[in-house]
Structure 1
């Protein structure tokens, strides 16, 4: 799964990396080293206007809120979408057919459970260890980003007018898939040992296909596109690395570049 990640790049950087434009030149993305569900996050999407397609960077609430939802809180339970069921689940099935996006991240956090019976340095039962997963060469927060397959929706808040606020909320979710087998070699095996789910990364080619602003005619067509994207995911993940980090990332109150610094001496039973 993907429940926390890092995004501290400027909007202009993301536009340059993803190929697109800023429809709002004043758009600013606040650096966030501990992005959690319900936070505002950048997304890249394509829109057709005046006979041409334009790729744009927007900011959305992380946690998909479908148009039929009665309250915004629905999104807090929909920050990830399983690729195996995304075409049939009511929360996601409309979006996967016509509102697809890419979610840029510099890296993400995942917690690895200790082996059964493992002990910590204090002799007590070992605790979960957080790891930071990132593209090779980007462990310090710089360098390339990962583009995750995502979906977006617009939701109208029926009470916003009474508060004098904009009624429309743009929201997003990140697709996940089965992680590689822990028996795989290299980083794929490490990812498989880390967690049983993997957020779905895009190649340049699959991002072009995923973002194409066409409404797919059926759930089967949507499933075929999802299959195309997931088939290339492990190739992207082979270019990642991971390292243990401190447990401070477990609290959203903690936010800064120190969160991604490698933990020099993790307990050996957690490696």
Structure 2
């Protein structure tokens, strides 16, 4: 994510509850900081009103009942087919839904032997992606009340199955050849519905987002990039520059 905080605030018509720092990154790894957009109900003179906010969260959802936040390193994604049944996600999907902005994401395609080719998946037009996400607040009991670090905000991105290989001739077919899962994107309409804190039909919202994935991904591009992205210490715009693929690209 290379967009500045100010650009994100303008793009999503959001505000800030606290000052946030979000350095640009072209190689986000689990437990790294990522932007999230959420809506909350706030009391006002005329009664409760919905407020859209930009926050920075740790990538990897930490449920409030775990003792160690390291638990979240394995919770970067939430399977949309089963999250309503999973203890780690079922409460969050009811009332703590968010949008996770990104410029794109990486997938790796297995080649001959141990070789792998990374690909950068991104929109074809000059705009970013927005993924459906969940968020949670985790309280560190060892930190005194009112001290920084007492509350940790974390997030997870929803995913879905891609179609079986050979059944898609669109860009979605290319994604199938890279990986059997795809992060679930939001458009403006589905994002408004997904973020609504007063919406209580979680199953219906998940179905809505899942139903729009092919349309939302229609203009995505799949570009081979250098293997340097495999090292989290590498971080710069050169990581997303297309290169010649090491072996056959997705059709």
Shorter-normalised TM range: over 0.9
Q: What do the CA deviations read for 1:218-263 (whole angstroms, capped 9, x no partner)?
A: xxx3222101111001101111101000111111111000100101
What residue number does 1:11 align with? 5
- Displacement over 4 Å in runs of 4+: none
Range moving further from structure 2, 53-62 or 15-24: 15-24
Residue 170 of structure 2 corresponds to residue 186 of structure 1: yes
1:253 matched to which residue of 2?
A: 233
1:171 has 2:151 as partner:
no
Return the match for 2:134 from 132, 137, 151. Answer: 151
SS in structure 2 opposite 1:12?
Answer: helix
Q: CA deviation at 1:167?
A: 0.8
Report if aligned partners of 2:33, 2:56 keep a CA contact under 8 Å in 1.
yes
What displacement does 1:147 show?
A: 0.7
Structure 1 residue runs of 5 or longer lacking an equivalent are 1-6, 119-124, 138-142
TM-score (norm 1): 0.86
- The Cα RMSD (Å) is 1.6
Shift of residue 29, structure 1, vs aligned partner? 1.4
Number of corresponding residues: 244
CA gap of 1:249–1:152, structure 2 versus 1, over 3 A, is: same
2 CA distance for matches of 1:270 and 1:176?
A: 23
Give the unaligned 5+ runs of structure 2. Answer: none
1:198 to 147, 159, 182: 182
CA drift at 1:165: 4.2
Aligned to 1:239: 219
Task: Report the TM-score when normalising by structure 2.
Answer: 0.93
Q: CA deviation at 1:186?
A: 2.4
